[in-house]
Structure formats: C-alpha cells, structure tokens
Amino acid sequence: MRPMGSQTPRIRNKKARRNYHVLETIEAGLVLEGSEVKALREGKCSIDEAFARVRDGEVWLMGAHIGAYEQAGRFGHDPLRPRKLLLKHREISRFLGKAVEKGHTLVPLTVYFHRGWAKVELAVAVGKREFDKREDLKKRDHQREVERELARRQRGR
C-alpha cells in the first residue's frame, strides 16, 4: 500500500510544445500490463519520441518507452510495444478527421494517473518551422526580462 499523500509522477513530453503548434487536446485511457503500471508509477517512462497512430478504427500509442519494473523479473514487458488508447468512436472519428490533414499529427503531451487509471493527454498538432521556434525563444526571453524588471521595481519600493 502506498503512503498517504504520495504523488504519482506526471510524465511530460518536453519536446512537444517546442516542436509543434498544439491545435486541440483530448484525454485518452491507456491500456497497460501489470508491470507497465508499476514502472509508470515509479516514473520510468519517456514519451519524447512517441506519437499516436490510427489503425483499424483504434488509436495506438507508438514509440513510448516504459522502462522495466525490477520486481517483475522474467514476467516483465516489452518497453517499446504499441499501446492501445481508449477513446469513444465519436472522439476517434472527430480527432481522426483533423489528424489526417496534411502536416497534422497526434502527439502525446503528458502521461498521468487520474483516480487510479492511466491517462494520456493527446494533441492534434502541426510541426513548427525553424523560424517559429526562434520566435518562441525571443518571446520567452522578452517575457523573462519584463518579469525580472517588474520584480526589481517592486523590491525597490
């Protein structure tokens, strides 16, 4: 049993918002094996290279790496296996319509637990170009300078 107040990790795809313009997001359930759940609760997951694909009317998470759970021994799991995402047919068809447009892709943003169930925040996204990334860096640097100046002025009072 887990101690009270312990928090399961929220695994983020740090590259997603840097490399893509996020158009729309949706929460999907994640089908996992027992050792995958344990490893995920320990934070042994990377979704930086992951993406979602629609096959035969179902959505699959590809390229997500869930590390081995030590206590599973030989009953462990394949770290890179495709994992099924649980969405309603209506959500799949609406999401698929947007995802099949040229230049659009399905990217996982975060993996987390909600009420004991593994969830993935999935986004329809468009890849950024190099100049878009530079513009984002300039905006972030400018915002940081503005906040620094405001903090300096408030301390000077």
> What does the pLDDT look like over 59-98, one tens digit per residue?
899 988 888 787 776 777 777 889 999 989 888 888 777 7
Show the tokens assigned to 43.
Answer: 């934070």
CB proximity list for 7: less than 8 A, separation 6 or greater: none
**HSE of 27 in the Cβ direction (CA atoms, 13 Å)?**
6
Bridge partners of 24, per DSSP, are 124
DSSP tag of 120:
E
Global pTM reads: 0.72
- Residue range 11-128, CATH number: 2.40.280.10
First-residue to last-residue Cα distance in the chain: 51
Helix, strand, or coil here: 143? helix
The Cα–Cα gap between 142 and 88 comes to: 42
Note down pLDDT in tens along the chain; length 157 residues: 454 445 667 888 888 888 888 888 899 999 988 888 888 888 888 888 888 888 888 889 998 888 878 777 677 777 788 999 998 988 888 877 777 778 888 899 999 989 889 899 999 888 877 777 788 788 888 889 888 888 888 887 6
